[in-house]
Structure 1
Amino acid sequence: MNRKTLVLPAVIGLLAPVLAACGSSDSGGNGGDAIVVGTTDRFTATKDAPAPLDPAYAYDVGTWNILRQTVQTLMVQPRGDGEPEPEAAEKCGFTDTGNERYACTLRKDLKFANGDAVTASDVKFSIERALRIKVDGGPEALLSTVDTVETKGDREVIFHLKTADATFPFKLSTPVAGIVSPDDYAKDKLRDGFDVDGSGPYTLESEVKNGELVKAVFTKNPNYKGALTVKNDKVEMRSFPDDAAGMGDALDKGDIDMMTRTMTPEQIKKLSNASGDIDLIEMPGLEIRYLGFNTDDSSVKARAVRQAMAQIINRAELVSKVYGTGAEPLYSLVPATITGHSNSFFNKYGDPSTAKAANLLSKANITTPVKLTLHYTTDHYGTATADEFEVLKKQLNASGLFDVSIKGAPWKTFRPAEQKGDYEVYGMGWFPDFPDADNYLAPFLDKDNTLGLPYANSNIRNTLIPESRREADRLTASKSLTTIQDIVADDVPMLPLWQGKQYIAARDDITGAEWALNSSSTLQLWELGRGVKG
């Protein structure tokens, strides 16, 4: 195979994906065997989290990628990113000048997969259900600006908002706003297990072993009516939890047709330089990684301790040693490609400096070395996470100002412990709910934030976030957004580390793979088809 780099047509707002591949047909096509997709995401139902796929509960990129195939939303992010477009809705828009009243009209003859009609009352039920159940650290925070939901007839839904929210159309494109039926979902209780019923492009059949979903089979929904064009009849998603190598072997053998998150840096490098019948597709990514702080914990309660860590950590070295070309240093919670981004941490701290860090600690009368444990999850963000935390430990300890140890735990243990405040410092990743600066700030800094951070800044919560949401033009909102980022760099309740790229690897008879993952890490399985090998 002759490998080449193909730059696809430019997409709205971001660079186009780059495809290192042989030539193949773009025709796609239905029929034939199921297209099989591998992922290292783990899907478990436990006593503490028995309802992983309930739209009112699910709030991670893996479970959302299942819901996006099966549960329809009023709005959807378009193929090439940009402003959200109507999906279950025929049209949507603000009906006032203050961005506080948002109305949608449903498509005609909209149906659930079982053939029952989807009505405005189902939309009202779904939104109110998520708000009523209100899971701690859950996705209902995205709907926090909703005051009341009104219906007019079977097709019109009107959202009355508590405050202006120019980002609300984006929020209606997320699974927490997914439309479900009161016949399948209780109004005040989560639905346990791995069953999902909706009106999306696919129906779901789950294969479960020992409380863990090992295979999700998506079959084209014959009753689907929406904006998406479904280019296949069936897709299987197979889970290779914490086993990127096994997923890669399955692709090499032809047991799967495509693999997505998360590949190791070594796999990406190998596929970039190899020839064969597997195509590696690189695309812009909006994933970020950061350290979170329990600012109530005595070890990091002093701001100077957190500032000193920000002054010492060498992001460029971290990225180079662990992720290579697959990531870039990040100096704000907001990625560099998002409108409103500011390099606030670099502006405040500049290049890494042990001397400056020592001065910060000395002025605050902090005794050194400061003893800390950095916690990370072993099975949620890829196997390179352990290597990342080894580098962070070495950097901090080499300064002589810190005595750092690291400790890993599986996600099912790590996430509840983080939410309960058991960790003083911990590593997390963020895949955006939608590509707007607000979604990198409000989920962590507003009231009832997703991490349960004890840090609270009244100026951010009461003035700056509301100010930014009043501006439909996000460039105009940049002043408020920049001020928020500057405050975060000064107080350091979170410490951004890096921004990642995204990769898909697919056998070269699979078409549409370059569109199968958008900038928010949303799998768009409906884009996949089978063509002719190059």
Structure 2
Amino acid sequence: MNRKTLVLPAVIGLLAPVLAACGGSAGGGKDGNPIAVGTTDRFIASKAVPAPFDPAYAYDAGSWNVLRQTIQTLMAMPRGGGEPVPDAAESCGFTDTGNERYACTLRKGLSFADGTPVTASDVKFSVDRVRTLKSDSGVSALLSSVDTVETKGRDQVIFHLNTADATFPYKLATPTAGIVNPDDYSRGKLRNGFAIDGSGPYTLDAKVKNNTLVKAVFTKNPHYKGQLKPKNDKVELVSFADTDAMGKALQKGDVDMMTRTMSPEQIKQLSADPGKNINLVEMPGMEIRYLGFDTSAPVVRSKAVRQAMAQVIDRGQLTADVYGSSAEPLYSLVPAGITGHTNSFFNKYGEPSVGKATSILSRAGISTPVKLTLHYTTDHYGPATKREFEVLKQQLNSSGLFSVDIKGDAWDTYRASELKGKYDVYGLGWFPDFPDADNFIAPFLDKDNFLASPYANSTIRDQLIPESRREADRLTASKSLTRIQDIVSDDVPVLPLWQGKQYVAARDDITGVEWALSSSSILQLWELGRGVSG
């Protein structure tokens, strides 16, 4: 066969099992107690990561999930997925046929949490600030299609784009386009530390110890006006050092729900026996994991080395041995369930083959074994990451074509080191900014990309990405998107590994858990309430 089809619906309504909890409450919890949610995301303010919660800097799923509770955007993603809907805006839309002029009108009476009115000039300030600061996290690339921002009166904002961009409404729904108060945020520098001020559904009280956030306390913002309807008054997001500690806290009742990142062992155990008054919810996800390459580094400069790795790595064994049923092999940057997905890597390489990899290296005159180090982060994607890289090392070394070592680093230094080009080969995950194929392509391949990658393909950047963005009908864009994926499978600037599902475990008196995570991994704390235990 020359093609493998993977099917994973990207619709959050397909859930198993359905929670048994019934009823609801507008309160934070019993006796006024807040709903407590556990996470293994770690938030550290350091020299390497000075501004973890500044919209002009933050560019990881954990930080964005804090910002989404507090910083309001013109557009927002609806609870069940689909196209963005107005939030801070009363209405938004393209006003031309070429998708190059996008206009929004703000809601009446909109204000920041301190009561200060939100105006069109604040929106312009916020977007222009991200573009001007252009932080090394790469987040400003989301707004790269903006040419100028114009305001008319206090409530109208017009975005003039430098190229057609049918995905622009999705980008306005990301925290990068979040509206901040010029009184709290400087135009010329990042806001260091953990303070956040906005007009979103909650305010934040950050509990910090040794420059590390240990608890984020979200309190319902009485000034919020938008499409979200918070079902609680207060939620605490509690950061745990590891999954075991988080799991024990759920069992003891110290937290009411736990989310990213649960270990494969926890998921397996909870699936078989969740324990008294605890439910496990499985939902579709669009998280992907991949290997990135510094294509200017001598050891992986030749694409033959990268192609040989793609030919040897056995994704099926990797996912089965490490993640079990919680992950599926991935053969493209664009995951299954997203319009435009195609299995380009499987089409090119087929099943793993040492013989084919040997021929690739031999034709390129590459001496073997190729010595390299695979780098991974020890504390950002869960405890299974180390085991994943041990399996990758074993697969590559057992071929006889590679001599691989692995090395793990903490996230607060890992991401900064990757951006500075200190790693030749490194592992990262991607939780989409929005559910469109463009967001699995442009952040890795366009100019000023998320990886700070030296790889540059003019056909992709100058022709295919702009071509795909001109198509408001994303199915029509599939031809361009498929060509991009085929080029990536040949050049291998990144090597996709697997696509994951999402899991949430919660005590059965917590309602709204089925909406707690969107298919794009957006943490929707406003959906949680407290009902009656089963």
* TM-score when normalising by structure 2: 0.97
User: Could you report, residue by residue, the CA deviation over 1:208-267 in whole angstroms, capped at 9, with x for unpaired residues?
Assistant: 0000000000000010111000100000010013x1000000000000000000000000
Give the match for residue 424 of structure 2: 424
Distance in 2 of aligned mates of 1:24 and 1:425: 46
Distance in 2 of aligned mates of 1:473 and 1:431: 23
Give the match for residue 400 of structure 1: 400
Distance in 2 of aligned mates of 1:17 and 1:294: 39
Matches within 5 A, 1:64-143: 64-143=64-143
Distance in 2 of aligned mates of 1:277 and 1:467: 52
Q: Tell me the CA shift for residue 19 of structure 1.
A: 3.6
- Which amino acid in structure 1 is aligned with residue 336 of structure 2? A
Give the match for residue 251 of structure 2: 252
Give the match for residue 17 of structure 2: 20
Matches within 5 A, 1:375-414: 375-414=375-414
Q: Tell me the CA shift for residue 33 of structure 1.
A: 1.1
Q: Tell me the CA shift for residue 13 of structure 1.
A: 5.8
Q: Work out whether residues 38 and 238 of structure 1, in 8 Å CA contact, stay in contact via their aligned partners in 2.
A: yes
User: Could you report, residue by residue, the CA deviation over 1:346-382 in whole angstroms, capped at 9, with x for unpaired residues?
Assistant: 0000000000000101111111111111010001111
Distance in 1 of aligned mates of 2:329 and 2:322: 12
SS of residue matched to 1:372: strand
- Which moved further from structure 2: 348-357 or 414-423? 414-423
Q: Tell me the CA shift for residue 289 of structure 1.
A: 0.2
- Which amino acid in structure 1 is aligned with residue 424 of structure 2? E
Structure 1 position 268 matched with structure 2 position 299:
no
Q: Work out whether residues 375 and 426 of structure 1, in 8 Å CA contact, stay in contact via their aligned partners in 2.
A: yes
Distance in 1 of aligned mates of 2:63 and 2:424: 27
- Which amino acid in structure 2 is aligned with residue 237 of structure 1? L
Q: Tell me the CA shift for residue 21 of structure 1.
A: 5.9
Change in CA separation of 1:143 and 1:99 when aligned onto 2, cut-off 3 Å: same
- Which amino acid in structure 1 is aligned with residue 175 of structure 2? P
Structure 1 position 53 matched with structure 2 position 20:
no
User: Could you report, residue by residue, the CA deviation over 1:391-436 in whole angstroms, capped at 9, with x for unpaired residues?
Assistant: 0000001111111111111111211111111111110100000000
Matches within 5 A, 1:429-508: 429-508=429-508
Q: Work out whether residues 286 and 432 of structure 1, in 8 Å CA contact, stay in contact via their aligned partners in 2.
A: yes
Unaligned 5+ runs, structure 1: 1-11
Distance in 2 of aligned mates of 1:334 and 1:19: 24
Give the match for residue 7 of structure 1: none
Q: Work out whether residues 73 and 174 of structure 1, in 8 Å CA contact, stay in contact via their aligned partners in 2.
A: yes
Unaligned 5+ runs, structure 2: 1-8
Q: Tell me the CA shift for residue 471 of structure 1.
A: 0.3
Q: Tell me the CA shift for residue 24 of structure 1.
A: 1.7
- Which amino acid in structure 1 is aligned with residue 457 of structure 2? N
Q: Tell me the CA shift for residue 18 of structure 1.
A: 1.9
Between the aligned residues of both structures, percent identity stands at 70
Q: Tell me the CA shift for residue 15 of structure 1.
A: 5.3
Q: Work out whether residues 19 and 279 of structure 1, in 8 Å CA contact, stay in contact via their aligned partners in 2.
A: no
- Which amino acid in structure 2 is aligned with residue 422 of structure 1? K
Q: Tell me the CA shift for residue 193 of structure 1.
A: 1.1
Q: Tell me the CA shift for residue 333 of structure 1.
A: 0.2
Q: Tell me the CA shift for residue 51 of structure 1.
A: 1.2
Q: Tell me the CA shift for residue 138 of structure 1.
A: 2.6
Give the match for residue 5 of structure 2: none
Distance in 2 of aligned mates of 1:187 and 1:429: 31
Q: Work out whether residues 69 and 200 of structure 1, in 8 Å CA contact, stay in contact via their aligned partners in 2.
A: yes
Superposed CA RMSD: 1.0
- Which amino acid in structure 1 is aligned with residue 253 of structure 2? G
Distance in 2 of aligned mates of 1:413 and 1:15: 34
Give the match for residue 514 of structure 2: 514
Q: Work out whether residues 375 and 408 of structure 2, in 8 Å CA contact, stay in contact via their aligned partners in 1.
A: yes
- Which moved further from structure 2: 27-36 or 141-150? 27-36
Q: How many residues align?
A: 522
Q: Work out whether residues 21 and 278 of structure 1, in 8 Å CA contact, stay in contact via their aligned partners in 2.
A: no
SS of residue matched to 1:434: coil
Give the match for residue 8 of structure 1: none
